[in-house]
């Protein structure tokens, strides 16, 4: 599918622009020419890249939040509105519907999960 290639390219750009010295040194030896290595390196770099989103619904008892989110490169997801489980469900009390936030996502138990959320 076409978007995959765009995402991979975007990841490469982000990884390159935010590269730590160690990562930059690693990319010099040519290992990042191999797709797997490059993808893994980009994914770990992407872990701390917050995604802009708007809170549409909060279900504190279920520990879920519905977000209208921008593209999530780490998860290969384009912009959409959907519900996510929240790792730290107690943190939901700090938010309300309509809040504009930056969200860090990761895959937990195979599911896209909100790891951290901060108001803009």
Give me the residues that bind Cu ion (CB under 5 A), please: 77, 80, 82
Nearer to Cu ion, 92 or 103 (CB): 103
Q: State in angstroms the smallest separation of the CB of 44 from Cu ion.
A: 21
Could you tell me if 8 and 39 are in contact, meaning their C-beta atoms sit under 8 angstroms apart?
A: yes
Nearer to Cu ion, 40 or 80 (CB): 80
Q: 3-state DSSP call for residue 86?
A: strand
Nearer to Cu ion, 48 or 81 (CB): 81
């Amino acid at each position: 599918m076409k978007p995959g290639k765009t995402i991979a390219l975007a990841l490469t750009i982000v990884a390159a622009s935010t590269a730590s010295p160690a990562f930059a040194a690693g990319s010099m030896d040519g290992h990042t020419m191999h797709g797997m290595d490059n993808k893994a390196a980009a994914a770990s770099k992407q872990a701390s890249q917050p995604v802009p989103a708007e809170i549409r619904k909060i279900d504190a008892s279920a520990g879920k939040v519905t977000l209208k989110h921008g593209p999530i490169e780490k998860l290969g997801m384009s912009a959409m509105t959907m519900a996510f489980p929240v790792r730290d469900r107690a943190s939901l009390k700090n938010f309300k519907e309509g809040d504009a936030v930056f969200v860090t996502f990761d895959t937990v138990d195979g599911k896209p999960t909100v790891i951290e959320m901060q108001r803009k």
